[in-house]
């Protein structure tokens, strides 16, 4: 459920209710006059000049980047599969079929053909050679686009260490290329089950944590790429973040009752990169994200509780000058961080205004 601005109208009225009776002593708006008699001088706060930021708090989920489905290139019986949450890095198996490993290597190109001596030169060959070199195979291997005899020998040595047949050929039954290390989010097969070429075997993601928000399109203007946000995680931990992706296609949101019906709302995807790694390891943990809705620079501001509800309508503040006080009508602007923007005749930075006693 999305949360409102830091100060709603109801909260504002509650904040000024205790001071409303003072406004009745004022005969009108304008700059006001000194109150008769010698009432006690109230506690005060200074009028300050500062930036004020309005925020909108929305729901998000702490997750991982780069979700994708990996497919296998061989048929057989699954004899081992990586556990959910496991991080798989270069050279390590994702699963085993008939006790033969399907190994992860780094690269942007999928393994779309069998690589062996005699294949035409290409970037996929260079990609394989770079991985073999990084894994410690092929002391005399030159990393280029040519599948050389040195490449053949390096592949055979790698296969021998993994318990694979020493064919010197690499195909999709042995290797899956992905850009970087992955985290297993869900196994699509189980030990003892059958798998076949092209079948999805593992759902994985990147290992970088991010926050995802399904943002109501009514608030899309608040999500600007590069904008800074504050994220509150389970347990109260707060981390700053930066909006790195804003969707351009609206999608229908499901009802919160979880029945799968269209709720009538539309949302856009917003991804946020965190400034540091959060302590929690939970996936899909609910978080609160504070988006900046308005920034007012260099305005006069007072604590919200300094506002008075005037009898004739609107708001004022009680200006305290030595032992005297007067009510000054003010125009209210942005809210943020417990303060409110004010403007009015005769107001200046450094002046004192009355606030409820602590």
pLDDT 10s digits, 63-79: 988 889 999 898 999 99
21 vs 51, residue with greater confidence: 51
49 CB contacts (<8 Å, ≥6 apart)? Answer: 298, 299, 300, 301, 349
Whether residue 60 lies inside any domain: the answer is no
- 43 found inside a domain: yes
156: domain range? 112-170
Is 186 inside a domain boundary? no
Residue 2 falls inside a structural domain: no
Q: Give 297's pLDDT tier (boundaries 50, 70, 90).
A: confident
How much is the pLDDT for 40?
A: 64
* pLDDT tens per residue across span 136-177: 998 889 999 999 999 999 999 999 999 999 999 999 999 999
* Mean pLDDT score of the chain: 85
Which one of 122, 138, 170 terminates a domain?
Answer: 170
Q: Once rounded to an integer, what is the mean pLDDT over residues 220-241? A: 88
CA angle, 100 then 104 then 109, to 5°:
125
pLDDT, residue 222, reads 83
Per-residue model confidence (pLDDT) at position 249: 85
Q: What is the pLDDT of residue 38?
A: 53
Boundary residue ending a domain (170, 203, 238): 170
What pLDDT is recorded for position 279? 83
DSSP 28-51: SSTT--BPSS-PPPPEEEE-EEEE
Q: Strand, helix or coil at 253?
A: strand
Which CATH number goes with the domain that contains 141? 1.10.101.10
pTM listed for this prediction: 0.63
Average pLDDT over residues 209-232: 89
Domain count of the fold of the chain:
2
In a domain, 42, yes or no: yes
Tokens, residue 274: 């965190």
State the burial class of residue 275 (Cβ atoms within 10 Å of its Cβ: 0-12, 13-18, 19+). exposed
Q: Please report whether residue 152 resides in a domain.
A: yes
Which of the four pLDDT bands, split at 50, 70 and 90, describes residue 33? very low
**Higher per-residue pLDDT: 280 or 238:** 238
pLDDT at position 20 over 70 = no
Residue 226 located in a structural domain: no
Q: Give 127 or 55, the one with higher predicted confidence.
A: 127
Strand 175-178 to strand 100-106: parallel, antiparallel, or no bridges (unpaired)?
Answer: parallel
Domain finish residue from 130, 153, 170: 170
Q: How far is CA 32 from CA 50, 135, 319, in A?
A: 26, 80, 9
190 part of a folded domain: no
CATH code for the domain of 36: 2.40.420.20
* Lowest mean pLDDT, pick from 88-102, 252-266, 335-349: 252-266
pLDDT of residue 96 exceeding 50, the answer is yes
**Which of these ranges, 6-20, 207-221, 289-303, has the smallest mean pLDDT?**
6-20
Quick count: other Cβ atoms within 10 Å of Cβ 139? 9
């Amino acid at each position: 459920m999305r949360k409102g601005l830091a100060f709603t109208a109801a909260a504002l009225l509650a904040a000024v209710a205790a001071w409303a009776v003072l406004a009745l002593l004022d005969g009108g708006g304008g700059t006001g006059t000194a109150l008769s008699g010698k009432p006690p001088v109230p506690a005060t706060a200074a009028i300050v000049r500062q930036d004020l930021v309005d925020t909108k708090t929305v729901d998000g989920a702490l997750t991982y980047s780069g979700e994708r489905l990996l497919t296998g290139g061989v048929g057989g019986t699954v004899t081992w599969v990586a556990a959910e949450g496991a991080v798989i890095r270069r050279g390590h198996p994702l699963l085993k079929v008939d006790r033969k490993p399907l190994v992860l290597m780094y690269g942007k190109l999928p393994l779309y053909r069998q690589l062996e001596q005699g294949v035409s030169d290409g970037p996929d060959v260079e990609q394989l050679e770079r991985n073999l070199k990084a894994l410690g195979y092929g002391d005399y291997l030159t990393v280029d686009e040519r599948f050389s005899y040195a490449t053949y020998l390096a592949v055979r040595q790698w296969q021998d260490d993994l318990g694979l047949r020493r064919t010197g050929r690499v195909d999709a039954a042995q290797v899956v290329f992905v850009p970087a290390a992955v985290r297993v989010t869900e196994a699509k097969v189980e030990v003892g089950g059958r798998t076949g070429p092209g079948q999805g075997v593992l759902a994985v993601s990147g290992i970088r944590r991010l926050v995802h928000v399904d943002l109501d399109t009514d608030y899309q203007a608040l999500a600007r790429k590069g904008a800074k946000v504050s994220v509150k995680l389970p347990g109260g931990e707060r981390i700053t973040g930066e909006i790195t992706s804003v969707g351009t296609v609206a999608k229908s949101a499901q009802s919160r009752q979880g029945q799968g019906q269209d709720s009538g709302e539309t949302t856009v995807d917003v991804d946020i990169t965190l400034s540091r790694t959060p302590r929690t390891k939970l996936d899909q943990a609910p978080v609160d994200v504070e988006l900046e809705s308005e920034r007012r620079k260099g305005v006069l501001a007072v604590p919200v509780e300094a506002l008075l509800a005037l009898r004739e309508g609107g708001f004022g503040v009680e200006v305290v000058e030595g032992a005297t006080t007067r009510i000054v009508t003010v125009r209210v602007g942005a809210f943020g961080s417990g303060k409110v923007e004010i403007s009015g005749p005769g107001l200046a930075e450094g002046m004192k205004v009355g606030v409820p006693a602590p």
